[in-house]
Structure 1
C-alpha cells in the first residue's frame, strides 16, 4: 500500500512539474510578444543607392553628463556660442599650464590644430551595410527584456525575439580620414569643460540654488554628441578612463568611479587579484571561485556606467528620433560604446578598448541565434604595443596592477583592426601606447590606410575561474519556489521530503528517490 501511494505521489509530482514548465515557457513567450506590440520599430532613415557617400562635416551639438551614486542625475549642456567662447578660454589656459593636460588629449598634428577642440569640424564618410538587428528596439522594450533575462537567465534563451536584416549607414572603416576623425571625437570627450550654469537638468528633483556651477558632484560618465547639418547621422563619443599615466587623460573628477567600473567590467571577479586588493563588489566566494549572479547584478546597478550610457542613449534617441546613431570612444569609453552598440544594434568604432566580450555575456545582451558576433557592426581599433588592448596588462608586476587596475580580459566582440607597431615600428609594449593622442599622431596618421579589420581568433577570458550561481532567483510560479543555487533544489506543494535523482534538460526534477 505504501509503495502504491509513493508511486502515485511520484506521478503526480512529475505531471505537476511538467505542467508548470509548459505554462512558464508559454506565458514568458506571450509576455514578450504582447509587450513588443506596444512599441514601434525604431525609425531609420531610408537608404537609397544615390545617397551621398559623405554625410558632410560634423560638429559638437551637446554634452551629456550622468552622475553616479545617490545623486545619479543627468544633465545636458547645449553647445552654443557662449559655451564655445568659455571653452576656448579654458582650453587656452590649460594649454599654457605646466600640466599641459588638454594638450595631451588633442592631436599635436598641425593638420588638426585648433584653438578650441569643442568647435572643431570633423569629416566622416559612410557606407551601407546589412546588419541583423532586433525588430523592436525601443529602449523601454529592450530594457524590459534585459531585466527579465537578468532575473531569469535560465529562461532567457527560451524567449524568441524577432530579428530582421536591415541596411544601415555605418562608418567607412577603410577610410583614413573617417577613422582619424572618430578618434578625434573620442579625444574630444576628454577635454575639460568650462564651468557654466547653462547645464539643463534631465532628471528631477534638482536644486539649482544648492548646487551652483556644475550642479552636483562632477563624478560620472560623459557623452559628447555630434551631428551633421542634415542631422541624419549622430555620433555619440563616450568618455574613457581618467587616471594618471593609464588612459592618457590625466587626473580629473571622474577618476574614482572610472577605476571602479574598469575593475568591475574587465576583471575576472570584482578585482580580486590577491588578498591584498580591495574588491569593488562582494561576489568573491573562495580561491578562483566567484558568484556569477552577484556579478551580473553589480554590472546592472543603476550607479554603474553601463546603466548610465543606456540613459544617455535614450535621451539622444529621443532628441534625434529619425537619425542613424553611431557610437565611438577610447579605452573604457570604447568598451561602453561597444556594449551600448550590442544592446541596440548600433554601429560602433572603438579605440584601444579592453576586452568587453565577457562583460557582454554577463549582461545577457541580446544576440541573434546562430549569428557570429564579428558581423555585428562593431570595430575595435588598437595596436600591439598597447597592453590594455592586447589583454596583457595584468600580473603582480604590471603597470596596471601597480596602479590598482585589474585589467584581466582580452577578448573583444565584433572585428579587430590591429596595427602591428611592435613588428613594423619596433615599439616596445607600454602604457604610453594606450594614450589617445599618441594613437592619433603616431599610428593613425603615419599609416597610409587603416588597419585591416578581421574576426578575432579563439579567445577565452578567466579560464581558471569557476563561476557558480549561488543566489536565489526572485521570480517563480505562484505555488513553486525555484532556488538557483548549486546544487539546484526545487520544492513544490505538497512538500517532498525525498531527494531528487533525475532532472530534465532545463533543470526541473522529474524523479524522486
Structure 2
C-alpha cells in the first residue's frame, strides 16, 4: 500500500514538473511572437522597415532622377552616380527617356521573415532569418493596368542607355582621387532611379544583358558570366562546347560542388552583391520611400532577387527563370516548395514566343547555346504573367523576340489588357531532375552539398 502511494506521489510530481515546463514553453513562444510583432530585436538583428501603403494618383508620373553604375569589384570607385537635373533634362537629345512615366499602384501582400540577421558572409542566408513569418501590405505597381506595365517596361529599356561621357558623374562612398580606370564602365551593373514629385515612390530599373556574339561589346562578357552563374546548373560547365564558363565548381562528369557555386554567387565581383549595394545606395538617398525594382532579362533576374532579399515588389520583363539562383542564394522562402512560395511580391512578364523567358533556350543548336549562354532553369519565383502569342497569334518561338523594345511594341502594346499573373505551376512532370527538391531546372548532375 505504501509502495503504491509512493508511486502515485512520484507520478504526481512528474506531472506537475511537466505541467510547469509546458507553461514556461508556451510563455517563451508567446514572448517570441510578441517580440517579433512589436519590434523587439537583439542588437545583431535588423528589423524590417515598415512602409506606408499609399495610392499613387493616376495622373502623377515618375521621372529619371539618378543613374548609378556599380563597378562590381573592378579597380576604381566602388560606384558612381549621375544626378539628372532639370537643366540636363532640357538639353537631352532624347528627353522621353527621363519620363514622366505613369505608374498606378495597388496594395499587395508580401510574406517575409519577421526579422533578418545581418549577413556575415559565412552562414547560409536562410540561417540568418527568423522562423516566424509575417504578411505585410505594401504599395506595388498595378500589374493589371496595361499602361503601368508598359511604363515599367519603358523604364527598363531606358536602363540600356548609359551616357558615360557626362562630366557630372560622382563617386559614391569612399573618394577615389585617381581617374576612372580604362574599361571601368565596361564592367558592372547600372541602375536608373525614377521618382515621383514627392519622393514617396522610387523605381529602380536595372540594366539587363548586353548581347554580343563576340565579347568586347560593353559589358557583354561580364554579363554572360553572370547569366551562366545564375542560370546554369554548374557555372556553364558540363554542357555545350560554346558555353562560357563562369567558375570552376564541377567536380566530375556528372557532379557539381553546390557550396562552391553558392560562394561564387556572393563574391564581390559578381552582380548579385553589386546589385544589393546599388539598392542600398538608393535606400540611403530615399530612406522613407517605397522602393520598387524592375528590369529586363538579366536586369529582371537581379531586380527579382533584390525583391526577395528585401521583401519589396519587383517586376521583371522577359527574364529567364531564377528560382534555382534564389534557392542557392538562400533568399527568404517558406513552405515545402521554397522558394516558389506565394506572395513574394515578384511579377515576371513575358511572352510565350521568347524561349529565354520560357526556359527553353537550352538545346545544343539553340542561339543561346551557340552564343555561349547556359540556361538550364525553368521556374520563376512569384507569379508569371505570360502573353500567349503562340496560342493567340500563332507565333513561333525565336530569340529575336527577346529584345525589350520589340516586346513592348509588338506584344505589350498590341494586347488589349495586361497579361494575367498566376502562381508558377510546380506540379507538372516534364522529365526534369529533382536535385533541388523542387522542379526548378534541367540539371542532370549530382549536386554535392
Tell me, in whole angstroms, the C-alpha distance in 1 between the residues paired with 2:158 and 2:281: 20
Contact 1:327–1:349 (Cα < 8 Å) also in 2: yes
Tell me, in whole angstroms, the C-alpha distance in 2 between the residues paired with 1:245 and 1:179: 30
Match of 1:445 in 2: 413
Cα distance per residue 1:419-451 (max 9 Å; x no partner): 111121121111111010111001000000011
Cα distance per residue 1:5-25 (max 9 Å; x no partner): xxxxxxxxxxxxxxxxxxxxx
Equivalent position to 2:67, from 55, 63, 72: 63
Match of 1:108 in 2: none
Corresponding residue SS for 1:410: coil
Cα distance per residue 1:139-181 (max 9 Å; x no partner): xx4434x74225xx7xx29x63443222111110100000000
Which range is displaced more, 187-196 or 361-370?
Answer: 361-370
1:241 and 2:217 matched: no
Cα distance per residue 1:309-339 (max 9 Å; x no partner): 1001111111111111101100000011111
Match of 2:5 in 1: none
Match of 1:8 in 2: none
Tell me, in whole angstroms, the C-alpha distance in 1 between the residues paired with 2:142 and 2:341: 19
Corresponding residue SS for 1:68: coil
Contact 2:244–2:374 (Cα < 8 Å) also in 1: no
Contact 2:335–2:341 (Cα < 8 Å) also in 1: no
> 1:82: Cα distance to partner?
4.6
Distance 1:33 1:317, change over 3 A: same
Tell me, in whole angstroms, the C-alpha distance in 2 between the residues paired with 1:396 and 1:80: 48
Corresponding residue SS for 1:118: helix
1:78 and 2:83 matched: yes
Corresponding residue SS for 1:131: strand
Q: CA RMSD in A?
A: 2.6
Contact 2:225–2:244 (Cα < 8 Å) also in 1: no
Corresponding residue SS for 1:122: coil
Q: Normalization by structure 1: what TM-score?
A: 0.72
Equivalent position to 2:139, from 169, 174, 196: 169
Equivalent position to 2:378, from 401, 410, 413: 410
Cα distance per residue 1:102-155 (max 9 Å; x no partner): xxxxxxxxxxxxx33433210010111222233346xxx4434x74225xx7xx
Distance 1:63 1:180, change over 3 A: same
1:468 and 2:448 matched: yes
1:253 and 2:218 matched: yes
Tell me, in whole angstroms, the C-alpha distance in 2 between the residues paired with 1:262 and 1:384: 20
Match of 2:198 in 1: 230
Corresponding residue SS for 1:451: coil
> 1:295: Cα distance to partner?
0.4
Which range is displaced more, 255-264 or 65-74?
Answer: 65-74
Tell me, in whole angstroms, the C-alpha distance in 2 between the residues paired with 1:296 and 1:216: 26
Tell me, in whole angstroms, the C-alpha distance in 1 between the residues paired with 2:165 and 2:387: 38
1:124 and 2:124 matched: no
1:314 and 2:280 matched: yes
Equivalent position to 1:374, from 316, 326, 342: 342
> 1:299: Cα distance to partner?
0.3
Contact 2:115–2:130 (Cα < 8 Å) also in 1: no
1:355 and 2:355 matched: no
Corresponding residue SS for 1:374: coil
Structural mapping, 1:10-25, within 5 Å: none
Match of 1:426 in 2: 394
Contact 2:244–2:373 (Cα < 8 Å) also in 1: no
> Number of residue pairs matched?
395
1:44 and 2:51 matched: yes
1:193 and 2:163 matched: yes
Which range is displaced more, 223-232 or 193-202?
Answer: 193-202
Distance 1:36 1:67, change over 3 A: same
Tell me, in whole angstroms, the C-alpha distance in 1 between the residues paired with 2:203 and 2:134: 23
Tell me, in whole angstroms, the C-alpha distance in 1 between the residues paired with 2:67 and 2:274: 14
1:269 and 2:238 matched: no
Contact 1:117–1:188 (Cα < 8 Å) also in 2: no
Distance 1:463 1:267, change over 3 A: closer
Tell me, in whole angstroms, the C-alpha distance in 1 between the residues paired with 2:413 and 2:242: 42
Match of 1:493 in 2: none
Corresponding residue SS for 2:228: helix
Cα distance per residue 1:327-364 (max 9 Å; x no partner): 11000000111111000101011000001000000001
> 1:53: Cα distance to partner?
5.0
Corresponding residue SS for 1:143: coil
Contact 1:417–1:453 (Cα < 8 Å) also in 2: yes
